[in-house]
Each structure stands twice: as structure tokens, then as C-alpha cells.
Structure 1
């Protein structure tokens, strides 16, 4: 009988185009809560004849992580995966970290450059080296991966002596994938049992919840943060954009209070709200104090407090006590509401939780009226929905990136996908009173059409490289450069006046109307991509050192737009056909 994760994995039709690497993407999604695996796949998969044993190189500077993976999928039942493929990861790390860029195969140059830039700029805090397969884990593979981890640490230390990067090699086989899959089904990842001295407290019951209000010693939080890190915030992290916890946003005021005014900490701090699987309060007759035994914990409000306490240089004094309420409920809707309301009422973090603002609510409603389209407006699906495919869903991060690239900011789309949601200035630039559900589908479908063209070209190269035309070879070279998808989207959107032969004063007003589904919209872009993609080499210069330079982007897009204008007569029929579907309000 297949494990639950296998059934879910096999249902992911959208990942099948990635072949054996689909399992690697699936594992990435489970571990890091990635909602849009298609966009990640088109960017991160490097697999090919000259990939130097790098099947996937995933870099997320927002979260400070990189994953270098070798993937293997067996169609037959075996006792273990071949250990030589684990050893191959030594080769992958050597090429990605140590070899001069001009010696690298074209296929992995951009990935290596992105990884090295992340290390140099201290944007990468952890490198994960994975051997991903669908077989049982084994000691043979474990031995090889230990050697890979040691070699990788030596290589990074040699090349970047000032870096403080953590490196972890891991076999991601059946058991590990199953473990990660199970974690997605619950908002609480820390499932241990804890016995806590509480002194005094009181219990409150609701229709479908129980709660206990008390205080806990800060040293309890200190120890748990040291042990579990961000797993303590699992419910928060998995359900809202922009709720990542990092050292850079820990409140120094909280730390100073704990260190310098421990007796006043309770009155200065708003306290914690903690979801638990269960709790039981016991009285200690000798000390006349209470104890509470909790099973599992996830801090849904108070991440700043916990992170600040956990970052102290030493264990806080016993007099430092923190207000806390432990809540137990089995209703998943109540869980989501607890997370939402506990955070949206906090002025400091309100900008991280966009799903409650009126613009997102309006857009969500507008998208719901478009055929075969769903949009969560900044809020992810429920815990169990994270890895299951929702074929009509427009993932929030990708929508933000789509709008940024469509409106001429591919550097933002590529480098700041979280900041689009976190920083008010960026958020309001793309999500404002002019942003409509139909316009979002318009921009999003262009991104998907570009991604589809990239996948088609790469598949053709794999199956019959001898049939590739010179133009197609150049297009593949372009697409191998990271950030190319978003740059091409910006270039194409900049030509809309040429395509429609009319002045467009406000790009937010353009769409395919409210009757076209995202899939239908994607097809409408396809013919236009046919006649614009041969000019993609005009954009290369902005990608050569990574997609960073806004001025350079403007220059190459200007050249691209000029050439499209020159070809307008010869492509008049295609442009006219496309224009017939355009709605400008």
C-alpha cells in the first residue's frame, strides 16, 4: 500500500513535466512550504548532460537558504538507493563553489553565480545538500553524505573564510518525505510534552476551544528556542506571507528589558499566544503553585518576544516571566482565525498580513468570478492544502512577482518576492485601487506562458537535441540565466502599445476581461511569444551578472521594444489577432 505522500505526489500532474526531478520539487515544497513549485522548477532545475551532478540548485535569499540536490526515482522496489549518486554530490559542490565561472558548463553558470553571490553578500545562512529518492534510507548513503558534508564545509571555508554558513547533507528518502508530509497536515510541528511551573493561572472554555492563561519563565522559552528555532512558529510561518523570523527583525528593546529590567518584563510585554494539542493543569499542594503539562506547541503571537529571549547571550533570570495563554482546539478554521486575529491587531506586524486588507478582499472576490480561477489574497491554503495541488489557484507570491515584472520591475520580481508583501512602498505599487482581478490574470498568465515555453524548449533539447534550430539554442541559453523569465515578461509587457496599436496610459487597466480563465489567457499569449522570443538575446546583457542592475534592464528593454516596433508590419496579423481579446477600462 502506498504511503499518503505518494498518492499526493502522483496526483501532481503539474510536476510531471519535470520528470525524475519532480520528486525533488515535491520535497522542496514539503520542507520549505513552497506553494508555487512550477515557477521554482523552471528556475531551479539544472539537470542535463553537462549538469556536473547538479539536478536542482535552489536559492532563496529571503530565507537565507540554498539547496543543492541530486534526484533519483526508481520504478522498481529496492532496498536502498545507489550510494554512488550520493557521492556525486561532491562533484556538484566542487563545480558550484570552487571552479572558476568561465570553466563551468553554460547550464550551471547562472546557478553557481547566484549561489556564490548569496554567500559573498552574507545572504545565504544555510546550504542543504540533498540526495532525494523514493526508496528506503540506508547506512551506505549516510556514509557517503557525511563525506560530502565534510568536503562541502572544507570547500566553503576555503573559498569564503569569513562566512559562517551551516552546511547539512541529508538523504531525503521515503521515510523523510513521509515525515515532512505528515508535518504539513498539522499547524504544530513541535509535538513534545512539556511540564511548566506556572505559579498561578486560570482556565477559560469556548464553544470549540479551551485556554489557560498564566505566565511562564523566560528561561523556558530561551531553552525551547535554542532547541527548536523557527519550528516553534510553524502555524505562523505556514499560513501567512511575510511571517518569516530572522535575526534582523528581533526587537532589541525586548532583549534589553530581559537583561536590564527583568522584574518589569511582565508589565512591559504583551505576551504569547500558543496553540497546543492538549494541556492539563495540576496543583502542587506543597509549593501552592500550579504546573501545566502541554503536548505540542506553536507560538502564533509572540515570535518577536521568543526570538529576542532566545537570542540572549545567557539564560535569563528566573524573575523574568512572560504572559502566555495556551489554546487547544481541533477546529482548523478556528486555528486560522486565531493566527489571523492575533497578528492583524498588532500594528508592528500588520503589513505582513495582507490577506485582511480591503484591496486583497476585493481582488479575491473579483478573481472568484473569473472562470477556473482562485486567489487567496496573501493567505496560503490550510495546512493540508500546502502541498496538494489546487489547479485553479493563483499563488500569492507568484501573483506579486507577476505584477512587479509586468509593470517593469523584473529586478524586484526576481530578488524581492517577499518584500513585495512586506514593504508598504512596494506593496502599494502593485496592489492598489487600480489593481483588478482580471488584470492579475492578465499578468500572471503571461508569466505562465513564458515558463511553459521554457519547459517546452528544455524538453525538446532532452529528447532530440539535434532537431533544435539555432534560434531555439539561443533561446535555451537565455532561459538558463536566472531571472530570465521575469525579464522577458517585462520586455513583452513594455511592447503592449505596439501590439495593440493604441496609447495605454495606465497598464493596470488592461486585461482579457472577466470571461477568460488563466489557462485561456495563457494560450492567448502563446502566439505573441512566438514572434517576440527570437529577440530575447537582446536582453542578455542584463542577466550576465545576475538580474540586479535596474538601469541596464531599462536599456535592454528599450532596445527590445525598438526591434518589436520595427517588426510590427510583418507581424501585423498576429498583433491584430491578439488585440481583439484586449480589454482596456
Structure 2
């Protein structure tokens, strides 16, 4: 048994997902097996469908139709012709250790039989999909992809050697075949990727704006508070995904911002630091005018000014409207491909100009988002970015830090963590 706790945790989450999402579509086979044997078989068939669903980006129900696992499957557990990507996907699945040389030999021989159209060597499940296979083999440019998916860390060197030999053999005249190693890291990664928060695209109107071209494109100008309130109504927390914190609610500074918006809207520009927004791409219409232009901002995030936006939205929620005189300065920075990690540098630098707790900067650590996604796979809510909208059942980063300190067994670390919290 693998003693790596991360490996065991990942495996448990994958197995639970297979049971929850695929078992209803992979009923027990009519075999005189023990309950344990039936479960192992259903897990492997479910894992094959899980691979197809993620590789071809189709639903679990569609993927379940690709399963041919059973007697005389010729080493292939699932087949799917992805006509959009021009791929013929062939899967061998093991819901446990990596396939051994014998398992892999059956898989390689099955692929050879399929490529050479020796279809009589396959079972009735294959007959159901035979037309798709024939279509694939008769379509120019189709890539045949042999996939080993399993809940272990790596394939053996002997298995890899046999797969490489098969690749060389089938690609003698044309590159028509490749193999993929779908180990536990990749399989679990598919689960966590589903918990990632998709970037948002926003249309924002800037008035009296100007532009900087170097060293990177940036625009600055005025934006109406009412438009920011509308964006918050539409996207809520998603506006602040690259910020170090969400809107924190009725803190003193936020109450002061709200008071200005209500009582002195024309003074908001002078009394507020404004917003900093980053995005992956900025576009504006050909007929743009500096007096007022609608900008399209892809991969939008307010990286400094979440409290301002939240306070403005609170006024809108209470009054139903905001004066058109309430405007503030906004800076929009285009990150592009962000090869220099500039996004995190901007977020860190712009937030250090205000009084914030050190723990807030944990939001810039990608490991915190990874942990959030991994916890969500098991429906555990982990909050590492502070927010006024607290989930009562969530684990906060402060609670997690104290728990780790307790497990450390080090008194100094434990006392220090309590003092900081």
C-alpha cells in the first residue's frame, strides 16, 4: 500500500467521484462474482468512461456508451471516435495499480487487431461501436490514441518500452498513433480542474480616458459608480478572483465610502483611491472616443478596490439607485500572456499601500487555490480569501494554520499561531 498521504487522498477522491457520477451508468455484469469483484470491475469500467469524458469533453452518459469492457474485449475497455478533434480514443483502465506487462500486452495486441481490422476478435460491445471505428480508420488525418488510465503514480519501464515499440511499429509510414500515460496525477487533476473558477469578461465604460503603451498597455479614466454596482450584481465575488480578499462588509472604511456615495457623490473621485483592474486582453471599438468608450475586458479582475466596489453595491442595494455624479478613477492593465508574473506583482504592490493583514497575501499563493479545488472535490469548503459572506461550514485559512500547528507537535509554533490569530 502506498504510504504517501497525498496519493491516498487523491485516490480516495477519484474513487468517490467514480461511484457518484458513473456507477448508475455502469451496472453490475451478470457474473458469479463476490461483491468486492463486482465493485472493482465497476470502478475500472467507470474509470474508462471517466477518461473518455475528459479527453473528448463529453458527458458521463455519453462516455458510458463507449465502454466495451467484458469478456473478449481484447484488452480495450472503451472506444470513442472524437470527430471534432479527429481522434480515435482507445482506453485500458485499472482502478488500482498500474497495468503490468501482461495487461499492457493484451492492450497493445488489441490495438494492433483494431488497426488491422481484425474485428472478429472483439466482443458484442465492440460490434455496437464498429461503425465508428471503421469511420475513423477511413478518415484522413485521424490520430489513434492508446490511453492507459490507472490509480497509481507511474508505468513500469517494461510497459513503457512495449508502448514505444507499438508506436514505432504503427507509425512506420505515417504518424497515426500515440500513447498517453494517464496516471493518478492527471486523473485527479481533471477533478480539481472542475472546481476552478472561470475568468470573466466584462464590458466597462470609461470616460475622459488616456492610454499608456509601454512597457505594457494600460488605460486610466473615470467610471460611474452605478456601473460598478451593476457589475457586482451580475458577477459578485467573481469580480475579485485575483484580489487578496473579497468585500468584507460593514467595516469602518467601507461605511465611509458608502456614506460618500450617498451624501456626496460628486466628491467620490476626490475622496477615494480608485480601482486597479487587470485583464488578459483589452479591446475597444474602432470608432472610440476619449470622452466615453465601452471597453471589452477579458479575464477581468479588480485587484485593488474590492472594498470600494462592495460599498458602492451596498448603497445600490439599499437605495435602488446611485447618483450619476458618483465617479471614480480606474486603472486597467493588460497582462497578456503574463510570462513575468506581473499580475501578482501588481496585486501585491497596489495592496501594500493600504493597511491589510499579512494573512491576506496568502491569496497570491497558487497552492491555496489548489487546496481549495482539492477540498471542493470532497465538498469541503476552504476559504483562504477573507470575505463578508462567510460560509458557516467552511474551513478558513486561519483554522487550517492552527490545525497544522497542533499536528506539528511544536509548542513554539502552536503558541505563535494562536498569538497571530
TM-score range, shorter chain: 0.3 to 0.5
Kindly indicate which of the two structures has a greater share of residues assigned to helix.
1
Q: Which has the larger radius of gyration?
A: 2
